[in-house]
Copies of this chain bind each other. A is one copy, B any other.
């Protein structure tokens, strides 16, 4: 986020109330210590400014070293895919659950994914011309596309589950 411009810890936390890139979250209690670590490592610096709040704010920005480290991090392969999905794990043991309760669980999840999908589609509409790689906005657009694909896949799977459970009742 700092690569997109200077920000306070508060700004970052506020933006993260909705997951950055649709797939990452952090609370302010994680952000402030993390900024201190980056500062100690010389990857960011800050400037103190007065703001509407009671405390002076610390406006952080990336140093050239920070920018370089980020640049390198981007192209190092990530650890394996997120292998922790509670709903899928529950599904694994679903044969011993109460079928109507189970059906409701998946119907609720389906509604949730459909709502998110509608919201993402609205956001997609806000981009006129799709941004090209090299533009910071490309990051926003590409992650949104991932979110869209994810929600579609998820909604479809939940719909299939509901259908399976309906048949068996």
List residues of chain A with CB under 8 Å of any chain B CB.
3, 19-25, 67, 70-71, 73-75, 77-79, 81-99, 101-102, 104-105, 108-109, 132-136, 138-140, 142-143, 145-146, 149-150, 152-154, 156-157, 160-161, 164-165, 167-168
Contacts and interface: CB of A to CB of B under 8 A. Distances in A.
Given A70-B96, A95-B136, A168-B134, A23 B88 contact: yes
Contacts of A109: 77
Q: Is the interface of A mostly helix, strand, loop or mixed?
A: helix
Contacts of A132: 164, 167-168
A140 B43 CA distance: 46
Contacts of A160: 145
Closest A-B pairs by Cβ, 8 of them? A78-B86, A21-B92, A23-B85, A153-B153, A74-B97, A75-B101, A23-B88, A92-B139
A88 B146 contact: yes
Contacts of A70: 93, 96
A167 B93 CA distance: 45
A165 B88 contact: no
A164 B145 CA distance: 12
A32 B138 CA distance: 46
B23 A94 contact: no
Best-buried of A73, A82, A108 by chain B (most CB within 10 Å):
A82
A25 B75 contact: no
Contact of A21 (B89, B156, B164): B89
Given A145-B157, A164-B133, A90 B73 contact: yes
